[in-house]
Amino acid sequence: MSGHISGVQPLVREDYPVAYFFNCAAHRLYLVLYYSASSIPLVRVFFANVAALNTFSRSSPRRNNCGIQMERTISVLYDKYKVLLELLEKTIESTQGWDDASISQASGLYHVMNSFCFAF
């Protein structure tokens, strides 16, 4: 947010040229965790798949209305893991009324969520 080129910092400095910017400890910890985690392939794949689940549910009003709303994606995954698997499985099994993209995405996400690495 306070990036010296394209963040908030240059905008604030236009009006307040002597403003002092620094990263708080929480932000520094976040950056360390983010870069550490993103260097581990399994962790990176996990978060990519979580993002894919979020996109899958929000890209279609019908899927959104079927109960796969991901406002707090990770907590929903944790709390509703079995329900999400059942909804994806029903989408795969009852192909009536679903388009090919929905069926394909549901199938891929079902297999990803059923894998040991994702569940772990």
Nearest to 84, CA basis, from 35, 118, 61: 118
48 and 77 inside one domain: yes
Instruction: Quote the domain boundaries for residue 61.
Output: 41-119
Nearest to 59 by CA among 118, 106, 93, 108: 106
CA distance 111 to 118: 10
Q: Identify each DSSP E strand in 4-113 by its residue range.
A: none
Q: Are residues 96 and 115 in the same domain?
A: yes
Residues 55 and 13 occupy one common structural domain: no
Rg over CA atoms, the chain: 20
Give the number of residues written for the chain.
Answer: 120
Find out whether 118 and 43 touch, Cβ atoms under 8 Å: no
Q: Are 30 and 58 members of one domain?
A: no
3-state helix, strand, coil in the chain (%, to 5): 70, 0, 30
Same domain, 50 and 25: no
Confidence band, pLDDT 50/70/90 cuts, at residue 67: low
Mean pLDDT value across residues 49-71: 70
Note whether 19 and 71 are same-domain residues: no
- Indicate whether 4 and 51 sit together in one domain: no
The Cα 37–Cα 29 span in angstroms is 12
Split into its structural domains, the chain has a count of: 2
At residue 116, the pLDDT reads 80
Provide the mean pLDDT of the chain: 78
pTM (global) more than 0.85: no
- Write out the two tokens for 30: 């976040």
The answer to whether residues 66 and 81 belong to one domain is yes
Question: In this structure, are 68 and 92 located in the same domain?
Answer: yes
Residues near 62 by Cβ (< 8 Å), separated by ≥ 6?
102
Residues 75 and 19 in one domain: no
